[in-house]
Amino acid sequence: MFTIPRIWREKPQRYRLEASECSKCGYVMYPPRKVCPKCGSEELTRVTLPETGKISTYTIIRTAPLGFTELSPYVVAIVEFSNGARVMMQIVDTDFDKIEIGKKVKLVFRKLFTEGESGVIMYGPKAIVVED
Amino acid sequence: MRDVAIVGIGIGKFGSLWEKSFRDLAVEASLDAIKDAGVDHIDSMYVGNFSAGTLIEQEHIAPLVADYLGYRLIPSTRVENACASGSSAFRMGLIEVASGISDVVLVVGAEKMTDIKTSEALYSLSLAADREYEGYQGITFPGLFALVAKRHMFEFGTTRKQLSAVAIKNHKNAYRNPKAQFHQLVNEEDIENSPMIADPLRLYDCSPITDGAAAVILMPLDEAKKLSNLHHPLVKVSGIGQANDTIALAQRDSLVGFAATTEAAKKAYKMSEKKIEDIDVAEIHDCFTIAEICAIEDLGFFPKGKGGEAVEAGLTEIGGKIPINPSGGLKGKGHPVGATGVVQIANIVEQLRGEAGENQVKNAKVGLAQNLGGSGATVVVTILEVV
C-alpha cells in the first residue's frame, strides 16, 4: 500500500534525508520524531544525515517479499553514521564479497519500489561500499 | 491482588490443517481447556491473534470465537502484539482475575495461516516490522534475524554449527511431541544443504507457517483449591513481565540481543521472587535459531555471547543444565503466531504437572516462558510454579 499521500508526506526523510537531533542529549534519530526516545525531550531540531557511514551488520535477502522479487538477491544492511544515527538500507552496486561489517558506505538516492507498471514509484536512500 | 492459578489447558495439534477453520481451531482448544479445568462456565475471555485480517480476511474475531464457543453476553477481547499476541492476551486475563473483576477467564491464542499462499502469509508477517522504514527497504523477518545473527557471529564468534545445534535439538524434541507440526529429525548436513533464505540463515533456521490454537483457564488460586473435580497438581502464575523496545531493529541499543527480554525477565523474576537458578525448564521464542541463542543469554541462563556454545555443548537439552524448548519450540512444534505465547505457557503447565510425556523434565517445579513479538519490540516473560 504505497499510496501517494504516504510517500509525499515522507519527502523530508526520504528525499532530503532529514533526521532529528535532540537539543538536550544530542541523540540523532532517523526518521525524525517528536519525542527523543533517549531522554524524553521534545526539543528536537532537523539535521541532514551525513553522506557516509559504516556497516554495522548486513544480510543478503534471497527469498524476497512481494514487490521485491525482481531485485533478489539483494543486500540489506544497518548503516551507522558518524553522528550515531543507525538506518536500515540496501547496499547496491557492490559485489557481495566486498561487503563486510565495518566497511565504509556512501549514501545514494535510488528507486525503492515500483507499484506495478503504472503505479507509484517510491525513491529513497540506499548505499554503496566505498574503499577507504 | 489475588494469586492466580492455571486450572485448565487445551493444546491443539499444530500443522497445515486444511480441514479446520480459524473458528474450529480456537473453539476446540478452548473446549479442551474448559473440560480440563472442569469449570461449568467462564466469565470473560481474551483471544490472542496476530493477523486474522490479512490471513483469513476476518477482523472482530473475539466475539466470533465466543459466539462459536456458545457464549453470548460475556466480555471477549482480542489482543494483538505480533508474535507476542498470545502472551499479551494471557497477561490481560491474569490482570482481570488478579484484580477481582472476573473469577474464571479463558485465554485462547489462535492463528490460521495456510489458507493463503506462503508469499502472502510472509507478507502478513512482515507487517510486524516497521513498515515504512524496514519493510519498504525490502527486509523480511528472516532478514531481520539474519542481521542479528551476522552481528552475533562477528562480535562473539558464534558459528554456523551452533545455529544448527538449536534446530537439531528442537526437531528432536518435537519428534517426541505428538502435537508438533514436524516429526522429522534433522542433522547438520540437512540444515547446511537447505536453501539460503537470508545469509546466514537457511530454511532450517526458520520456524514454519502453521495453523494452530491453544488455551488456558485462569482462576483465583484460593477458588481453584476448592474445585471438587481437580485432577491435576495446581499451577500458579508466580510472575509476569512485559517490556517493549523500538519498533525498528536499527534503533536498538544492541544488535546482538533483545533488551525487552532482559527487562521483561527482570520484572517477572522480581514479581515471582525467583532467581534464574530456580528455573527448572523454559519455553523460549525460537522463531529463528539465533533468537534462541540470544534469548538464553538475555534471560541470564548463560553469559552474553556464550549461548551458542551452551547449545552446542548440550546444556539446553532435556536432562541438561537448563532444558530449553522441550516441546520442540517454534522451530519444531510450529509457530501459529497468535497461539504461540499461549501454547508456551500451556507446555510449561504440562511440565509442572508432570504430564509432558516423553519430553518430561524430571522434577520440574518452576518454569519460564518467553514470547517475543516482531524483531523484539514486545517481549512477555511468565514464570509459573507448581503449588
Under 8 Å between Cβ of B110 and B25: yes
Is the pLDDT assigned to residue B352 strictly greater than 80? yes
Give the pLDDT confidence of A9-25 residue by residue, as tens digits. 999 999 999 999 999 99
Using omega within 30 degrees of 0 as the cis cutoff, is the peptide bond preceding B303 cis? no
Give the pLDDT confidence of A24-77 residue by residue, as tens digits. 999 999 999 999 999 999 999 999 999 999 999 999 999 998 888 889 999 999
pLDDT, mean of residues B29-42 = 96
Q: Is A20 on the interface with B (CB under 8 A)?
A: no
Contact A60 B198 (CB under 8 A): yes
Residues 6 or more apart in contact with residue A75 via CB below 8 angstroms: A58, A59, A60, A61, A90, A91, A92, A94, A96, A99
Under 8 Å between Cβ of B114 and B14: no
Instruction: Count how many residues are written for chain A.
Output: 132
Is the pLDDT assigned to residue A117 strictly greater than 80? no
Mean pLDDT of chain B: 97
Of A2, A76, A89, the CB nearest to B143: A76
Q: Where are the domains of chain B?
A: 4-117+209-224, 138-206+238-386
Per-residue pLDDT at A66:
84
Q: Which of B99, B341, B347 is nearest to B220 (CA)?
A: B99
| Residue for grid cell 524483531 | B375
d(CA B348, CA B368): 7
pLDDT, mean of residues A101-130 = 91
Contact B151 A86 (CB under 8 A): no
Going by the DSSP 8-state scheme, the letter that residue A63 receives in this structure is: S
A124 pLDDT band, cuts 50/70/90, is: very high
Per-residue pLDDT at B339:
98
Per-residue pLDDT at B190:
97
d(CA A60, CA A128): 15
Mutate to test the interface with A, among B139, B153, B204 (most CBs of A within 10 A): B139
Chain A, nearest residue to B245 by Cα: A37
Under 8 Å between Cβ of B78 and B108: no
Going by the DSSP 8-state scheme, the letter that residue A26 receives in this structure is: -
Measured between CA atoms, how close is A4 to chain B, in angstroms?
A: 13
Look up the pTM and report it.
0.98
Catalytic residues of B: 83, 335
Amino acid at B152: H
Per-residue pLDDT at B192:
96
Of B133, B135, B138, the CB nearest to A61: B138
Give the pLDDT confidence of B290-308 residue by residue, as tens digits. 999 999 999 999 999 999 9
Class of domain B4-117+209-224: alpha beta
Give the pLDDT confidence of B59-95 residue by residue, as tens digits. 999 999 999 999 999 999 999 999 999 999 999 999 9
Instruction: Confirm or reject CATH 2.60.40.10 for domain B138-206+238-386, answering yes or no.
Output: no
Q: Where are the domains of chain A?
A: 4-129
Using omega within 30 degrees of 0 as the cis cutoff, is the peptide bond preceding A31 cis? yes
Alpha helices in chain B (DSSP H): 22-37, 52-55, 61-68, 85-99, 118-126, 141-156, 160-175, 188-192, 221-224, 259-272, 289-298, 307-312, 329-333, 337-353
Per-residue pLDDT at A1:
64
Backbone angles phi, psi at A4, to 5 degrees: -60, -45
Mean pLDDT of chain A: 93
| Residue for grid cell 517477572 | B268
d(CA A72, CA B308): 30
- Grid cell, residue A62, equals 534471497
Give the pLDDT confidence of B194-220 residue by residue, as tens digits. 999 999 999 999 999 999 999 999 999
Write the ipTM. 0.97
Chain A environment of B148 (Cβ under 8 Å): 57
Mutate to test the interface with A, among B150, B209, B256 (most CBs of A within 10 A): B150
CATH number of A4-129: 2.40.50.840
Percent of chain B whose pLDDT exceeds 70: 100
